[in-house]
Structure 1
Amino acid sequence: MTSTATATFTLEHPVRSRSFAFVLGSPRDGGNTETLARYAAEGLPPDSTGSWLSLSELALPAQPSGPLPDGPEKVLLDATLDSTDLVVASPLHWYSVSAATKLYLDYWARWLALPDLAFRERMRGKNLWAVTAYARGEDADTDPLTGMLSRTAGYLGMEWRGALLARAHRPGDLEADPAALARAAAFFA
């Protein structure tokens, strides 16, 4: 005789929609990298949310100002920790991220050192993406940028989801590149 057992359960952590934090590392608003990221954001899953954080508007001091995050640092920390998906949108500067983006990532070391934040544990399992536009060269010239970000994801136990790359030197270059717009539309799919 066989019996069939039925189990009931509840989820300890209910499934939640995805929350994307777009961290814009360009020194100017509306540049090609931001434009590319905004095209990509149009393809976000329907149940997701997104926030846009401009590092030029949320300027971090070269050195933290106190023992606990406050001001722009607190805004960036909260957005970083509250997101399920972190999108670093930085133009390619000297084969890597912009200075503002690098400073933001340097602050991650500070947050790792604050034991009450449990930064490493809270970053584990998040998705890390990159978006970059570059003026000259080839996709391979972005290898230092993507390498740094993918290794950072690995170090923190995050999922590296890849980079959206496009060559664009002047405003309007992206709109004249249907292949780049198609890659952007499908990036988060």
Structure 2
Amino acid sequence: MSERHFVFIEGSSRPNGNSAILARRAEQHLPDGASSEWLRLADLPLPDFDADAASAPIFPDGNEGALLAATLRATDLVIVSPLYWYSVSAPVKRYLDHWDGWLHIPGLRFRRTMAGRTLWAISAGYTDDAGKADGLATSLRLTAEYLGMAWGGLLYGNGDQPGDVRQDHTAMRRAEDFLSPAAVPALRAG
């Protein structure tokens, strides 16, 4: 994959929530030549992940198949999730749980395929203390590490009520260069 393709996976129950507003700002400033697509987990609901069913994995169809295909198309995967109880939303957690099944699909080589790509996170929450999102960031960073992906980092904005994140001028400004190659520490180091 030579050109970058950003896949935004949005896990909010409310359309155009604060996390999505912040992510849309970042999407407007993608690197030259990059493409993007946006999937709302509310529009593609997944069942709870059943680890026992994953012991005899098959290539999924329906919503899960669509999410797997989009995930595989991504050079850059952007998790867009409100900060819920110091972590990702339930739909995002369910999506990530399904990755366990994808790891076991014969011939897919999900882990090998995802290696070298970049995982990003964009979130908004009830407080201006970005440290409250450390659990969310750590969970996704460790996921990236496990799969051999680069960790692009977390863009966090303060927004409790609908549209509040627009008043977090620092986060909105950071969104404009958040998804650039220089933002990834491993890429900066060479």
TM over 0.5: yes
Residue 3 of structure 1 corresponds to none
CA distance in 2, matches of 1:50, 1:158: 19
SS of the residue 2:107 aligns to: helix
Q: Does 1:97 align with 2:88?
A: yes
Task: Tell me the percent identity.
Answer: 45
Aligned match of 1:36 in 19, 22, 30?
A: 22
Residue 183 of structure 1 corresponds to 174
Residue 136 of structure 1 corresponds to 127
Moved over 3 A (4+): 63-67
- The more displaced of 60-69 and 140-149 is 60-69
Cα deviation for residue 175 of structure 1 reads 2.1
Residue 37 of structure 2 corresponds to 51
Cα deviation for residue 46 of structure 1 reads 1.9
Gaps of 5+ in 1: 1-14
Residue 7 of structure 1 corresponds to none
Cα distance, 1:160–1:63 mapped onto 2, change above 3 Å = closer
CA deviations over 1:122-151 (Å, ceiling 9, x no partner) = 000010000000013611111110000000
Q: Does 1:61 align with 2:52?
A: no
> One-letter code of the match for 1:121?
R
SS of the residue 1:87 aligns to: strand
CA distance in 2, matches of 1:76, 1:156: 17
Q: Does 1:71 align with 2:75?
A: no
How high is the TM-score relative to the length of structure 2?
A: 0.88
Residue 17 of structure 1 corresponds to 3
Cα deviation for residue 186 of structure 1 reads 1.4
Residue 101 of structure 2 corresponds to 110
Contact 2:8 2:80 in 1 (8 A): yes
CA distance in 2, matches of 1:161, 1:63: 26
SS of the residue 2:119 aligns to: strand
CA distance in 2, matches of 1:175, 1:146: 22
Gaps of 5+ in 2: 181-190
Aligned match of 1:146 in 134, 137, 141?
A: 137
Count of residues in correspondence between the two structures: 175
Cα distance, 1:77–1:31 mapped onto 2, change above 3 Å = same
Cα deviation for residue 170 of structure 1 reads 1.5
CA deviations over 1:35-78 (Å, ceiling 9, x no partner) = 10000111101201000000000001114688330000010000
Q: CA RMSD in A?
A: 1.5
- The more displaced of 87-96 and 179-188 is 179-188
CA distance in 1, matches of 2:97, 2:4: 25
SS of the residue 1:174 aligns to: helix
How high is the TM-score relative to the length of structure 1?
A: 0.88
